[in-house]
Amino acid sequence: MSDYEFDTLQLHAGQEGSDPSTRARAVPIYATSSFTFDDADFAADVFSGKQQGNQYGRMHNPTVQAFTDRLVALEGGTGGVALSSGQAATTTILFSLARPGSNFVVSKELFGGTFAVARKLLEPWGSSFIAVEPSPEAVAAKIDENTVGVWVESIANPSCSVPDIAAIAKLAHAQGVPLIVDNTWGCGGYICQPIALGADIVMHSATKWIGGHGTFIGGAVIDAGSFVWSEERFPAFHKKDPRGKTYLDKGGVAPFAARAYDLGLFTMGMTLSPHSAFLGLQGLETLSLRVQRSCDSALELATWLEKQPVVKRVIYAGLPSHPSHEVAKRTLQHGFGAVISFETQDLETAKSFLDNVKLASHLANIGDAKTVVINPWTTTHASLSEEARRAAGVSPELIRLSVGLESVNDLKQDFAQALTRVKVA
């Protein structure tokens, strides 16, 4: 399959031909917790890893496997794991790499939920985050002998800043550290391909553009298969299990995926349901078409919003005014993402805009086929201190806008009427 282009892979990867047992063309929803074994020897072989087979639904399900394989193909990885949410993917990656005393050098603009995992789980357990400006120099300066990962997002929320993934990967590798990219805003690999730029581990909240219709919660971890796991920094990868095997033995070309499977599915049980995986597969089939449309509309809307008198500032990496514009041009493809942030006059005008939009939905999600808006200051980022919110690029007057698939003219009309109800200072 790997010779096919993205548009073909999003339809066919993970399912060759039709379903082998029923000839169903769509991937069926295998709604079962368990699978029978042909005989006792086969059962023993499946459990020991000698033969491929479905052991138990917490770890194995053919619908989930097809979804996982399709995403791995789209991101150019060698293996992966689908999980019950983006948060589950984050938790799995962090605990797959961390050991007490270790640290992660992370972008200070990471999604708040990622910092929550660090604060509530990782730190009490003895590992920590070192948050820096996501520039290659700032990241490299903080890596030390206990660093077990560098973590950035392909496009940050809500500042829309784009890190130089290729340069950061090079500097992290020079110090023996893997680069993890949360590629949620990179839209399933269509807008950003972190592995091609040098990243070692990619994660997604599949809840967003991958599903694309706001119908389920899901996540994924993808292994580039290229990182060399040194024994000093990553002892867990070299430790033999009771059968005498390490993750390097078990994972083959995807050792990180083997560890993520063991921790995220087998141990923590953060399993994606086959029903959700089916919705994910449906979403992936039209991924490039949907995302292209949203990104084209986003660029048009960003340019239009810049001209509106009530709008103080538009934040979108597709605009030459954005500090990341040049980096974004070489790091992203097909467009600059589907989310725009913009500042109105103050918090009251931001609230008035939200109360007056009719077509756009006011809710806490992104990546839906329908356009959505929110004020991060009072909602998604409200649990952070004022200082932390400002450091993440969140001001009281900010609106985050995830552009959907509606007619861009209708969206402009909706925003124009909502903005005219806002008093100009």
- Contact residues for ligand PLP, defined by CB under 6 A: 85-87, 111, 113, 153, 157, 182, 184, 205, 207, 217, 219
Residue entry with tokens 């839209």: 187
Which C-beta is closer to ligand PLP: that of 181 or that of 422?
A: 181
**H-only helix segments in 238-384:** 247-251, 255-260, 274-285, 287-306, 325-331, 347-356
Rg, the chain, Cα only: 22
Could you give the CA distance from residue 410 to residue 171 in angstroms, rounded to a whole number? Answer: 46
Which C-beta is closer to ligand PLP: that of 103 or that of 205?
A: 205
Q: How far is the CB of 206 from ligand PLP (least distance, A)?
A: 7
Contacts for 244 with CB less than 8 Å, ≥ 6 apart:
none
Q: How far is the CB of 192 from ligand PLP (least distance, A)?
A: 12
Which C-beta is closer to ligand PLP: that of 80 or that of 219?
A: 219
Nearest-5° Cα angle at 261, 256 to 267 = 125
Q: How far is the CB of 26 from ligand PLP (least distance, A)?
A: 24
Which C-beta is closer to ligand PLP: that of 209 or that of 247?
A: 209
Instruction: Write a three-state SS string for 122-168.
Output: HCCCCCEEEEECCCHHHHHHHCCCCEEEEEEECCCCCCCCCCCHHHH
Q: How far is the CB of 110 from ligand PLP (least distance, A)?
A: 8
Q: How far is the CB of 86 from ligand PLP (least distance, A)?
A: 2
CB distance 178 to 201 below 8 Å: yes
Q: How far is the CB of 219 from ligand PLP (least distance, A)?
A: 5
Which C-beta is closer to ligand PLP: that of 162 or that of 408?
A: 162
Which C-beta is closer to ligand PLP: that of 182 or that of 262?
A: 182
Q: How far is the CB of 239 from ligand PLP (least distance, A)?
A: 29
| Dihedral (CA of 347, 380, 180, 274) sign | negative
Q: Is 184 helix (H, G, I), strand (E, B) or coil?
A: helix
Quote helix, strand, coil % in the chain, to nearest 5. 40, 15, 45
Which C-beta is closer to ligand PLP: that of 219 or that of 393?
A: 219
**H-only helix segments in 266-314:** 274-285, 287-306
Task: Kindly compute the dihedral angle of the four CA atoms of residues 197, 90, 190, 163, in this order, to the nearest 10 degrees.
Answer: -50
Q: How far is the CB of 83 from ligand PLP (least distance, A)?
A: 9
CB distance 132 to 108 below 8 Å: yes
Give residue number: closest CB to ligand PLP. 86
Which C-beta is closer to ligand PLP: that of 319 or that of 366?
A: 366
Q: How far is the CB of 251 from ligand PLP (least distance, A)?
A: 24
Helices H / strands E in the chain, number of each: 16, 12
What b/e sequence results for 371-396 when a residue is b if at least 16 CB atoms lie within 10 Å of its CB, and e otherwise? bbbbbbbeebbeebeeeebeebbbbb
Asked if the peptide bond before residue 158 counts as cis, ω within 30 degrees of 0, the response is yes
Which C-beta is closer to ligand PLP: that of 88 or that of 197?
A: 88
Query: For the chain, how far is it from start to end, CA to CA, in angstroms?
Result: 57
Q: How far is the CB of 195 from ligand PLP (least distance, A)?
A: 17
Which C-beta is closer to ligand PLP: that of 62 or that of 86?
A: 86
Other beta carbons less than 10 A from residue 130's beta carbon: 15
Q: Is 29 helix (H, G, I), strand (E, B) or coil?
A: coil
Which C-beta is closer to ligand PLP: that of 85 or that of 352?
A: 85
Q: How far is the CB of 87 from ligand PLP (least distance, A)?
A: 4
Determine phi and psi for 392, rounding to 5 degrees: -85, 5
